[in-house]
């Protein structure tokens, strides 16, 4: 004797349709594959050798200025002009006098771009500046 007749519209489904779930998994995989390379914001720099490894510092006190080979500037992963970087560093120095400015510059770049950053820091009383190199 059958439990449900074929005339009865209430037929139970004994299996779960997983096709939409597989489609969703593939869409999420594709989204993550596309967005992951876009998360890198730093410049690709070839730093000069020398120097010592760093002592541990408070990460909230560090501001990193990057100078690429063509003389472009970045602060905190965001491309800015030298004037914008100066304004941001002065504002940060006024709110926290313990900030440390790291200057990362490509060794093939011009000295003038690095000197401009150092000069702006000195003019505004930011004395804790470190030129970054690759440790040997």
Average pLDDT over residues 107-129: 89
pLDDT score at 84? 92
Q: Report in angstroms the alpha-carbon separations of 37 from 34, 40, 112.
A: 7, 6, 32
Model pLDDT, residue 94 = 92
**pLDDT at site 17:** 80
pTM for the complete prediction?
0.59
Per-residue pLDDT tens for 79-97? 999 999 999 999 999 998 8
Answer yes or no: are the C-beta atoms of 124 and 85 closer than 8 Å: no
Kindly tell me if the per-residue pLDDT of 1 is higher than 60.
no
Residue 2 scores a pLDDT above 60: no
pLDDT at residue 65, rounded to an integer: 92
Give the CATH number of domain 59-131.
3.30.420.270
Higher-pLDDT residue of 67 and 6 is: 67
What is the sign of the dihedral through the CA atoms of 101, 111, 78 and 35?
A: negative
More confident site: 14 or 26: 26
- Asked if the model's pLDDT at residue 58 lies above 70, the reply is yes
């Amino acid at each position: 004797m059958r439990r449900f007749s074929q005339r009865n519209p209430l037929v139970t489904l004994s299996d779960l349709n997983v096709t939409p779930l597989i489609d969703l998994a593939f869409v999420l995989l594709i989204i993550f594959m596309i967005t992951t390379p876009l998360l890198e914001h730093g410049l690709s720099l070839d730093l000069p050798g020398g120097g010592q490894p760093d002592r541990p510092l408070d990460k909230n006190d560090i501001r990193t200025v990057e100078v690429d080979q063509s003389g472009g500037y970045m602060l905190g992963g965001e491309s800015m002009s030298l004037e914008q970087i100066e304004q941001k560093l002065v504002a940060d120095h006024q709110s926290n006098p313990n900030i440390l400015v790291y200057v990362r510059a490509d060794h093939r770049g011009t000295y003038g771009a690095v000197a401009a950053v150092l000069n702006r820091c000195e003019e505004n009383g930011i004395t804790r500046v470190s030129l970054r190199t690759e440790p040997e």
